[in-house]
A and B are shown apart, each in its own frame.
Chain A
């Protein structure tokens, strides 16, 4: 091949590779939606989204995902309550109050944490946390596999995201803003709360959205330790069956092309839409930030 030909061929090759990402994305939507919508031939839209009764293997099977959705909501909510404040505090410490050595060490550990496989944390929660919860709250807990247990383990997974992304957001505020405030005699703490955090607002929101997206989509931890009960929870000690846990737990035994199979794919579509909305919102925020 001549040099010109190779040049042209490369151009085509890399463009095709880039377009492939879009093809894959459309493929995911296509395959999930085309199987997912078939559930509505058997189940009404209303029953699917508003019924709390998820009994896929009963004689008169029922496929209402409201209880599953409430499980996802409960676990995600509690995880955010635990991990956002802690993540925020660590991010502030890393960004403004730590020496370089401390900073690097803490950051290494948080980055390592992001790499812990979730199945390992699930296993840890199953074996140890559940037992500790039973011992700590003997009056309240009737199963060690519950919202609190799952949220604790999910917090370990989610926190590094919050720490890293919030720290980045704080550091993205121009130095002159910080210096201007300090030069006026403000101390670091009020500079932080009056200048840095307000200015990093959209970056922090961006971090929260991306972290939430991870928590909602996390599967193994909730499959193993959220308890698996299809019920609307009344307390943080209740067991639940989040959306991802239902898919992962039931996909293995489901009969192909059955209503149950299609229902699980519809749940997949719901998860896909949630992550699409989160990601696009985060991208919008980020673009707004740059302007």
Chain B
């Protein structure tokens, strides 16, 4: 049993070390930007070639891109998941859809960016715009919404469906009035996870929707917008050292949002599993 103790201690130390390093990096990045964040920074436009001013258009732009993305992926994803869990038998078509979804989930984001550029920006003529970038992110998030929702729907007890059918409800009524409401909380958790996956995406937006520097808000969905991750990229890769406060502040804001999303998922999951046990 002495071997077990040694293995446990050594492996434990390594695991804690890794986690400590990660937490140090994240904590350091959040903290070093914290003193740059204030109301002025959050609500003003960048000025003087981005060496001064704030990140308001990037925050707003990220919200625009995400809204378009979710407007596409949430309804389509939920319906597709309903097909998988409620309507399809274990047949070829279901297998094909599941396979396609898995392959989609594995495709590199830069490839989604090229697809978005080719389809939305060029073929559809949307150019570099909020709508082209948003739809690209929407397609990227679709496989996550589908698999998370599918999992939530499958977790709904079969007895709910039986009880509803036994009352003379048809499939659509059972699905939309019983099964989806019963899993709505879990579906929402899945959507938050999907948001977490795409909020930091940079490469696809660089091709399809991102403006490097704007001085007024976009007037509609067919104009480009700034976004937090692309802003971070531009500040750190293209501009020299004189934008440090802007960069640190932006990173801090993005990380705080990501951590908040993550915490809300963790809390919701724990509440859900407690509900299942109780």
| A and B in direct contact, judged by CB atoms within 8 A | yes
Residues of A within 8 A of B (CB): 3-4, 6-7, 9-11, 13-22, 24-25, 27-28, 31-32, 35, 86, 89-90, 92-94, 97-98, 102, 106, 108-113, 115-124, 126-127, 156, 159, 187-190, 210, 213, 216-220, 223-224, 244, 247-248, 251-252, 256, 264-265, 268, 271-272, 275-276, 278-280, 283
Nearest Cβ on chain B to A30's Cβ, whole angstroms: 9
Q: Are B114 and A264 in contact (CB under 8 A)?
A: yes
Q: Does B4 contact A187, Cβ atoms closer than 8 Å?
A: yes
| Contact call B207/A251, Cβ cutoff below 8 A | yes
User: By the criterion CB–CB under 8 Å, are A248 and B110 in contact?
Assistant: yes
Contacting residue for B146 out of A11, A21, A89, A92, CB 8 A: A21
Please tell me which one of the listed residues B112, B123, B200 contacts residue A117 in the complex, with CB atoms under 8 A apart.
B200
Q: Which one of B25, B86, B88, B146 contacts A156 once the chains associate, using CB atoms below 8 Å?
A: B25
| B residues less than 8 Å from A31 (CB atoms) | 114-115, 118-119, 123
Chain A CB within 8 A of B111 CB: yes
* Beyond A24-B142, A247-B113, 14 additional pairs, beta carbon < 8 A: A7-B173, A31-B115, A32-B111, A102-B12, A106-B16, A116-B200, A117-B232, A117-B255, A123-B251, A187-B3, A218-B108, A220-B203, A268-B114, A279-B105
Which of these, B84, B172, B201, B261, contacts A11 with CB under 8 Å? Answer: B172
Bound: A265/B22 CA distance, A: 35
Number of A-B contacts (CB under 8 A): 247
Q: Are A22 and B11 in contact, CB atoms less than 8 angstroms apart?
A: no
- Closest Cβ neighbor of A268 among chain B residues: B114
Interface-located stretch among B36-44, B51-59, B96-104: B96-104
Closest chain B residue to A8, Cβ basis = B172
B162-192 at interface with A (beta carbon < 8 Å): 170-173, 175-176
Q: Are A219 and B108 in contact (CB under 8 A)?
A: yes
Which single residue of chain B is at the shortest CB-CB distance from A247? B110
- Asked if residues B11 and A187 are in contact (CB atoms below 8 Å), the reply is no
Within 8 A of A (CB), among B250-277: 251, 254-255, 258-259, 261-262, 266
Contact B88 A220, beta carbon cutoff 8 Å:
no
Q: CA–CA, A24 to B143, complex, Å?
A: 11
Chain B residues contacting A283 (CB-CB under 8 Å) are 99, 102
